[in-house]
């Protein structure tokens, strides 16, 4: 190596090594103070990308666990309400059996019916109250969309439509009405489901029920005028029902929860809402028949003969057995789904733990290894500083040559 003054190569080497030692020391301090091995993308670009993808999956899994906690709570609300309803059904069964006792008087049987009416009312109230964050769980039903031309308080052909009931409609959507003047048949269809009713002439101050039984849709057409209104007037395309629309908004049929980090069919858990109403808004005959029978018994209690009482209570007993089996089936389904969700939550907890362990191996600081690097860095910094001081003194040898 040449002996020169202007360029001190030894000093430059020492400076570079000191700079590297300081950078390594700073990196160790950063990792130890933050607890992260990767603080910037430059620390490990591939590792950062992998760890962030893992974190996204961890966030999805952890949120899914919280979703499923909500699912369990929702199903517990539904199942608790069904338990209460089943308790009332068991009481109705007891009353139905008691009412079949021929030694009881009409007054005593009427008292039984009074309790039956109250129990039936509370079954419906319990179902309607059972909601979770505004979602109806066991009283799901359809409603009338007021943008349709056929709706309550609307007049067609001089007749006023009222008592619209679409709660049990087989499907939501727009139902179009058409009328055939030759057969007097009014048809209602949403493109998939079709129902038809034969209209009749309506006498003054009377009404006719227009019921599309297979569609679950019905309403009352009332003639409040002083003259008879014929079927063609009511069903006419212009001014009548023909050519108009009934719009039904379907109730939420299901509440779905994501049970995994990815949106795919296998990760979706669905609680299917139901309708256990017995008040005419029900969609399941198992419950509706019970309510209809109790209502009929309340209406006929004052005139029933002993034989009619026996028939009424016998019929009620059959209906309550069917309703009880229906509720048991629904409770069983909820219980099975709740157990399934429990297994999923256990699996998700394991997934989350394993993913976090894998992410930690990539992202977190190994303090044992990093403190060793810190010590090395401190020694290297001290050594480089000492060597830089020595290197800076090396040009002084030139002075001895000049003496």
Judging by DSSP bridges, how do beta strands 173-180 and 185-189 pair with one another?
antiparallel
Query: What confidence score (pLDDT) does residue 17 get?
Result: 86
Residues 154 and 221 in one domain: yes
User: Can you tell me the distance from the alpha carbon of 151 to that of 184, in angstroms, rounded to the nearest whole number?
Assistant: 21
Chain centroid offset of residue 69 CA: 12
Evaluate if residue 2 carries a pLDDT over 70: no
Residues 238 and 281 in one domain: no
Query: What confidence score (pLDDT) does residue 346 get?
Result: 94
Note whether residue 216 is domain-resident: yes
Closest C-alpha to 341, from 81, 69, 57, 77: 69
Contact 248, 188 (CB under 8 A): no
Structure tokens at 202: 């309506």
Note whether residue 23 is domain-resident: no
Residues 224 and 286 in one domain: no
Evaluate if residue 304 carries a pLDDT over 80: yes
Residues 131 and 264 in one domain: yes
Note whether residue 149 is domain-resident: yes
Residues 147 and 244 in one domain: yes
Note whether residue 47 is domain-resident: no
Q: Given pLDDT bands bounded at 50, 70 and 90, which one contains residue 86? A: very high
Residues 268 and 336 in one domain: yes
- Of 233, 249, 265, the residue at which a domain comes to its end is 249
Judging by DSSP bridges, how do beta strands 194-198 and 206-212 pair with one another?
unpaired
pLDDT, average across residues 304-322: 94
Specify the DSSP class assigned to residue 213.
G
pLDDT, average across residues 272-295: 85
pLDDT, average across residues 227-245: 94
Residues 123 and 267 in one domain: yes
Structure tokens at 323: 């309703």
Q: Find the length of the chain.
A: 403
Contact 247, 166 (CB under 8 A): no
Task: Tell me the CA distances in angstroms from 117 to 110, 128, 200, 210, 306, one per residue in order.
Answer: 10, 17, 35, 28, 20
pTM for the model stands at 0.69
Q: Given pLDDT bands bounded at 50, 70 and 90, which one contains residue 39? A: confident
Residues 242 and 264 in one domain: no
What does 177-217 look like in DSSP terms, one character per residue?
EEEETTTTEEEEE-SS-EEEEE---B-TTEEEEEEEGGGTE
Residues 125 and 262 in one domain: yes
Residues 236 and 285 in one domain: no
- Alpha-carbon torsion, ordered 88, 90, 92, 98, to 10 deg: -150
Note whether residue 11 is domain-resident: no
Residues 313 and 183 in one domain: no
User: Can you tell me the distance from the alpha carbon of 191 to that of 194, in angstroms, rounded to the nearest whole number?
Assistant: 7
Contact 142, 249 (CB under 8 A): yes
Residues contacting residue 79 through CB under 8 Å, at least 6 positions apart: 331, 334, 335, 338
More confident residue, 263 or 303: 303
Residues contacting residue 172 through CB under 8 Å, at least 6 positions apart: 142, 248, 249, 250
- What are the backbone angles phi and psi of residue 138, rounded to the nearest 5°? -130, 15
Percent of the chain exceeding pLDDT 90 equals: 56
- Of 215, 249, 283, the residue at which a domain comes to its end is 249
Residues 179 and 322 in one domain: no
Q: Given pLDDT bands bounded at 50, 70 and 90, which one contains residue 392? A: confident
- Cα angle, residue 216 at apex, residues 213 and 217 outer, rounded to 5°: 90
Which residues span the domain enclosing 185? 143-249
Chain centroid offset of residue 229 CA: 48
Note whether residue 35 is domain-resident: no
Quote the number of domains for the chain.
2
Contact 308, 316 (CB under 8 A): no
Query: What confidence score (pLDDT) does residue 282 get?
Result: 66
Query: What confidence score (pLDDT) does residue 390 get?
Result: 85
Residues contacting residue 289 through CB under 8 Å, at least 6 positions apart: 319, 322, 323
Specify the DSSP class assigned to residue 250.
P
pLDDT, average across residues 124-145: 89
Q: Domain containing 274 — which CATH number?
A: 1.20.1330.10
Query: What confidence score (pLDDT) does residue 71 get?
Result: 94
Contact 252, 134 (CB under 8 A): no
Note whether residue 211 is domain-resident: yes
Query: What confidence score (pLDDT) does residue 309 get?
Result: 94
- Of 225, 249, 273, the residue at which a domain comes to its end is 249
Structure tokens at 196: 């038809």
Note whether residue 390 is domain-resident: no
Residues contacting residue 95 through CB under 8 Å, at least 6 positions apart: 112, 115, 116, 119
How many Cβ atoms sit within 10 Å of the Cβ of residue 164?
Answer: 20
Structure tokens at 95: 């009353």
């Amino acid at each position: 190596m040449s002996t020169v003054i202007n360029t001190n190569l030894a000093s430059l080497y020492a400076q570079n090594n000191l700079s590297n030692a300081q950078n390594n020391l700073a990196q160790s301090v950063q990792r130890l103070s933050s607890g992260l091995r990767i603080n910037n993308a430059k620390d490990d670009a591939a590792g950062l990308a992998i760890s962030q993808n893992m974190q996204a999956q961890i966030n999805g899994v952890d949120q899914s666990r919280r979703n499923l906690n909500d699912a369990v709570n929702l199903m517990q609300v539904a199942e608790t309400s069904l338990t209460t309803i089943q308790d009332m059904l068991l009481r109705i069964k007891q009353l139905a059996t008691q009412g079949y006792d021929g030694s009881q008087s009409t007054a005593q049987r009427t008292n039984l019916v009074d309790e039956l009416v109250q129990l039936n009312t509370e079954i419906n109230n319990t179902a309607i109250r059972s909601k979770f964050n505004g979602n109806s769980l066991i009283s799901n039903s359809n409603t009338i969309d007021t943008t349709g031309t056929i709706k309550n308080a609307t007049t067609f052909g001089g007749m006023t439509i009222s008592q619209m009931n679409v709660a049990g409609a087989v499907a939501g959507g727009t139902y179009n009405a058409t009328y055939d003047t030759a057969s007097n048949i009014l048809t209602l269809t949403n493109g998939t489901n079709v129902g038809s009713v034969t209209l009749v002439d309506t006498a003054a101050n009377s009404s006719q029920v227009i019921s599309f039984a297979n569609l679950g849709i019905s309403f009352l057409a009332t003639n409040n005028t002083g003259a008879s209104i014929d079927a063609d007037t009511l069903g006419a395309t212009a001014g009548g029902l023909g050519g108009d629309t009934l719009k039904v908004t379907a109730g939420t049929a299901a509440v779905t929860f994501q049970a995994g980090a990815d949106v795919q069919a296998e990760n979706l858990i669905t609680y299917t809402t139901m309708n256990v109403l017995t008040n005419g808004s029900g969609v399941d005959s198992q419950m509706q028949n019970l309510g209809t029978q109790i209502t009929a018994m309340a209406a006929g209690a004052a005139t029933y003969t002993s034989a009619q009482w026996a028939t009424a209570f016998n019929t009620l007993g059959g209906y309550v057995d069917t309703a009880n089996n229906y509720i048991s089936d629904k409770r069983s389904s909820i219980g099975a789904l709740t157990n399934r969700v429990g297994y999923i939550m256990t699996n998700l907890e394991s997934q989350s733990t394993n993913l976090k362990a894998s992410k930690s191996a990539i992202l977190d600081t190994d303090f044992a290894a990093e403190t060793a690097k810190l010590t090395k860095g401190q020694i290297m910094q001290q050594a480089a500083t000492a060597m830089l001081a020595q290197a800076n003194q090396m040009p002084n040898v030139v002075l001895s040559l000049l003496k």
